[in-house]
Structure 1
Amino acid sequence: MPHDRPQPKAKPVASQKKSSTNLKPLSKSEVKADKKKHQPRWKRWGKRLLLVGAIGLGVALLAGVAVFAWFAKDLPSPDQLENRVIAESTKIYDRTGEHLLYETGKDVRRTYTKIEDISPYMIQATVALEDKNFYNHRGFDPIALMRSAGINVATDRQVGGSTITQQFVKLAIVGQERTYSRKIKELILSIELERKYSKDQILEFYLNEAGYGGINLGVAAASQSYFDKPPKDLTLAEAALLAAIPQKPNRVTQDQEALFTRKDYTLDRMAEEGYITEDQAAAAKLDPIELKRTIAKKDAPHFVDHVIAQLEDDFGSNFINQGLRVTTTLDYGKQAIAEEVIANGMEKVERYGGSNAALVSLDTHTGQVLAMVGSKNYYAEDYDGQVN
Structure 2
Amino acid sequence: MRKFVIVAAKLILSAVSLVGIGLLLFAGWLVWHYEYALGLPSEDGLASISTTGPACTAAPDRTYISLADIPPLLRKAAIAYEQPDFYEARSLSPIIGIAHAAANGGKGPPSGIIQSVTRCLMSFSTDCCRGIDMHIATIVLMQRVARTLSRDRILEIYLNESYFGRGNYGVGSASLAYFGRPLGPLAVDEIAFIVALPRMPALLNRRRDIALDRRNLVIARMQHTGIISDAEAMAARERPLAFRDPPPVKTMQQQAL
TM-score (ref. length: structure 1): 0.49
Q: Which residue of 2 aligns with 1:33?
A: none
CA distance in 1, matches of 2:192, 2:31: 38
More off after superposition, 215-224 vs 69-78: 69-78
Q: Which residue of 2 aligns with 1:172?
A: 121
How much does 1:146 deviate? 6.2
Q: Which residue of 2 aligns with 1:88?
A: 59
Closer/same/farther in 2, CA of residues 210 and 273 from structure 1, 3 Å limit: same
Higher helix share: 2
Is 1:291 aligned with 2:248?
A: no
Q: Which residue of 2 aligns with 1:322?
A: none
* Residue deviations 1:335-382 (CA, integer Å, cap 9, x gap): xxxxxxxxxxxxxxxxxxxxxxxxxxxxxxxxxxxxxxxxxxxx9xxx
Q: Which residue of 1 aligns with 2:195?
A: 243
Closer/same/farther in 2, CA of residues 169 and 159 from structure 1, 3 Å limit: closer
Paired residues for 1:60-75 under 5 Å: 63-73=26-36, 74-75=39-40
CA distance in 2, matches of 1:118, 1:60: 48
How much does 1:250 deviate? 0.8
How much does 1:251 deviate? 2.5
Q: Which residue of 1 aligns with 2:78?
A: 126
Q: Which residue of 2 aligns with 1:265?
A: 217
How much does 1:233 deviate? 3.2
* Residue deviations 1:73-121 (CA, integer Å, cap 9, x gap): 222221343385724354xxxxxxxxxxxxxxxxxxx211111111222
Q: Which residue of 2 aligns with 1:218?
A: 170
How much does 1:243 deviate? 0.9
User: Aligned with 2:117: secondary structure?
Assistant: helix
CA distance in 2, matches of 1:193, 1:185: 12
Give the letter for the 2:57 counterpart.
I
Q: Which residue of 1 aligns with 2:150?
A: 198
Closer/same/farther in 2, CA of residues 244 and 61 from structure 1, 3 Å limit: farther
CA distance in 2, matches of 1:278, 1:84: 37
CA distance in 2, matches of 1:60, 1:277: 53
CA distance in 1, matches of 2:66, 2:181: 16
* Residue deviations 1:122-147 (CA, integer Å, cap 9, x gap): 2122111111221221346989x969
Closer/same/farther in 2, CA of residues 146 and 283 from structure 1, 3 Å limit: farther
How much does 1:177 deviate? 6.5
How much does 1:167 deviate? 1.3
* Residue deviations 1:277-322 (CA, integer Å, cap 9, x gap): 33221111123442125768xxxxxxxxxxxxxxxxxxxxxxxxxx
Q: Which residue of 1 aligns with 2:8?
A: none
Q: Is the 1:208–1:219 contact (alpha carbons within 8 Å) kept by the matching residues of 2?
A: yes
Give the letter for the 1:119 counterpart.
P
Identity %: 27
Give the letter for the 1:170 counterpart.
R
Q: Is the 1:78–1:189 contact (alpha carbons within 8 Å) kept by the matching residues of 2?
A: no
Q: CA RMSD in A?
A: 3.8
CA distance in 1, matches of 2:211, 2:139: 30
Higher RCO (CA < 8 A, seq sep 6+): 2
CA distance in 1, matches of 2:68, 2:247: 24
Is 1:79 aligned with 2:44?
A: no
User: Aligned with 1:191: secondary structure?
Assistant: helix
Q: 2:232 aligns with which of 280, 287, 306?
A: 280
Closer/same/farther in 2, CA of residues 209 and 61 from structure 1, 3 Å limit: farther
CA distance in 1, matches of 2:40, 2:108: 27
- Unmatched segments (≥5 aa) in structure 1: 1-47, 91-109, 297-378
Q: Is the 2:82–2:113 contact (alpha carbons within 8 Å) kept by the matching residues of 1?
A: yes
* Residue deviations 1:51-76 (CA, integer Å, cap 9, x gap): x79x95x8756643442232222222
CA distance in 2, matches of 1:61, 1:182: 23
Q: Which residue of 1 aligns with 2:135?
A: 183
Higher strand share: 1
Give the letter for the 1:225 counterpart.
A
Q: Is the 2:108–2:136 contact (alpha carbons within 8 Å) kept by the matching residues of 1?
A: no
**Which of the two has higher C-alpha Rg?**
1
Closer/same/farther in 2, CA of residues 63 and 136 from structure 1, 3 Å limit: farther
How much does 1:197 deviate? 1.7
User: Aligned with 1:81: secondary structure?
Assistant: coil
